[in-house]
Amino acid sequence: MKLRSLLTSLSWMCLFLNTCQSREANDDRPNVVLIMVDDLGIGDLGCYGNGTMRTPHVDRLAREGVRLTQNIAAASMCTPSRSAFLTGRYPVRSGMVSDTEVRVITTLGDCSGLPLNEITFAALLKKQGYTTGLVGKWHQGLNCQSRSDHCHHPHNYGFDYFYGMPLTLIEPCWPDPSRDTELAIESKIWLCVQLVAIAVLTFTIGKLSRWVSVPWSLILSMVLFIFLLSYFWFSSYTSPLYWNCLLMRDHEITEQPMKAERAGSIMVKEAVSFLERNRKGPFLLFFSFLHVHTPLPTTTEFIGTSKHGLYGDHVQEMDSMLGKILDALDDFGLRDHTLVYFTSDHGGHLEARLGHAQLGGWNGIYKGGKGMGGWEGGIRVPGLVRWPGKLPAGKVIEEPTSLMDILPTVAALAGATVPQDRVIDGRDLMPLLRGDTQRSEHEFLFHYCGVYLHAVRWHPKDSEAVWKAHYMTPVFQPPGALACYETIFCQCSGKLVTSHNPPLLFDLSRDPSESTPLTRDTEPLYDLVIRTVAAAVKRHKESIKPVLRQLSGSNEGNVWLKPCCGVFPFCLCDKEGNSSAASSS
């Protein structure tokens, strides 16, 4: 009996030790906070050389972590860039590209979205026991066949919790004050439509029930009146405010239309609440800023605080919000156990202007901006990575990295395996961040504009050079403007693009501004570089399988898919009020 008791005790002790070791192993896995700003230019930040914009909290991340100076977005527009970030794959592989001038999901009536067979970093970490949350902008689709099927909802891509905007900020979300009269008139028209609709319903029921005597001709006239007013209203400036500018918590619409100037503050509270609820970890939080996308809804506290007008005010408000999230990590004792990554989805929008006021970001020394497939200003974005005690503070890495690297990086940290049944274009950043290697695993990076390959960069394994070959470049309007002011965004093909054969060639290590193309006369390696890049393009294109294009005209603007928090067309609600964050999962 004593021997049996001893063996039983030893068995329990082994089990206890094994459990402790398992917990200790799990404790090595960090929490992950991914922070993406919308339309932020790399030149807007102090840590990237801006001496006139105050961004102390972003700069704090740079001091306390690793700063990437050649961090590249996979696309220069929101929707495809974010799909690549989520999946670690070029958007052309998932069909999140277009061959038209529309390269993003434009309304909540679009039935397009990230294909459900794509695997995100949230899905990988969720399988490893992480609690996953997305707060902020989604912009990867919502509905497919009805306004409530939510087929492209973040829940279907591995996120346990979602609070935010399913689309993106558009101008009507925070209307120009000069249009107040127009907005007031259009709002009254919509109210009139709803009142007449109620009257028609009442008269119809009364007529059929025989308790009211109303001629059918009057009812039909009222129906026609509704159709005419509705047509006018749906084509008005105000209409998108009601159908696209809304907030959701998980599957519930909490505010329609949303009050854009307070949305950012509510999202910060939601993020802090998520951190507090899940402080025992492990967790993944993707905080996707609405800032600093136009129309720049800024609280009165920050208006007039910068030297750069409303855009500068908005950037500084973003920085303050970032500070609250970083402070929450400190307050909850999570700082040393959390990897924080900060970036932008692409470069600043040069063409965003109101009169002479610049409403878009500054891309520093880099040519081009948002919407331009190959020029550096559209795709070179901030990249800051902090993990105290694990990554060196103040380190600067000038090697090519990509937003697509986040999926394999956090997967490895969480103990997950990246999908083996598809091409993953991202690479695990940790060896480079820790200093285990001095070279990026990206020998080639391919720069798309929609479905069109505009440029390729090549960083040879035995050289410090970073060659960049441009096969297509946008035609700037007006000539010499270095932007496309006449079309708001530069285009990817057709008459507004110049094709180059042979391609324009630059060495970014010597000419990061892409100011002087190299030629056979000025560069001895010219022919070798052109041949090598062409061979890489051939291999790359052979690796791409045909898929259904999500961003096609046939998927756009279906009225019956637009969400409604009430009974259509009475879609008005405000469940936010002055409340702070929710206490759900």
Catalytic residues: 78, 139
> What is the secondary structure of 277-344 as a DSSP string?
HTTTS-EEEEEE--TTSTT----TTTTT-SSSHHHHHHHHHHHHHHHHHHHHHHHTT-GGGEEEEEEE
Output phi, psi for 282, to 5 deg.
Answer: -80, 150
173: DSSP letter: G
Give, in degrees to the nearest 5, the angle at Cα 550 between 547 and 555: 135
Neighbours of 359 (CB within 10 A): 21
Radius of gyration of the chain (CA): 26
Query: Helix (H, G, I), strand (E, B), or coil: what is residue 37?
Result: strand
Contact 63, 388 (CB under 8 A): no
Distance between the two ends of the chain, CA-based, in angstroms? 49
Rounded to whole angstroms, how far apart are CA atoms 174 and 183?
A: 11
Beta bridge pairs of residue 457? 445, 468
Contact 462, 456 (CB under 8 A): no
Q: Which long-range contacts (CB under 8 A, 24 or more apart) does 326-334 make?
A: 326/57, 326/60, 326/61, 328/271, 328/272, 328/275, 328/276, 329/33, 329/275, 332/275, 332/276, 332/279, 333/279, 334/31, 334/275, 334/279, 334/281
Alpha-helical regions (H) of 235-292 = 239-244, 260-277
Position of tokens 């081009």? 368
Per-residue b or e along 113-140, where b marks 16 or more CB atoms closer than 10 Å to that residue's CB? bbbeebbbbbbbbbebebbbbbbbbbbb
Which amino acid type is present at position 413?
A: L
24: left (phi over 0), alpha (psi -120 to 50) or beta: alpha
Is the peptide bond prior to 91 cis by the omega test (within 30 degrees of 0)? Answer: no
Rounded to whole angstroms, how far apart are CA atoms 493 and 99?
A: 8
Contact 193, 231 (CB under 8 A): no
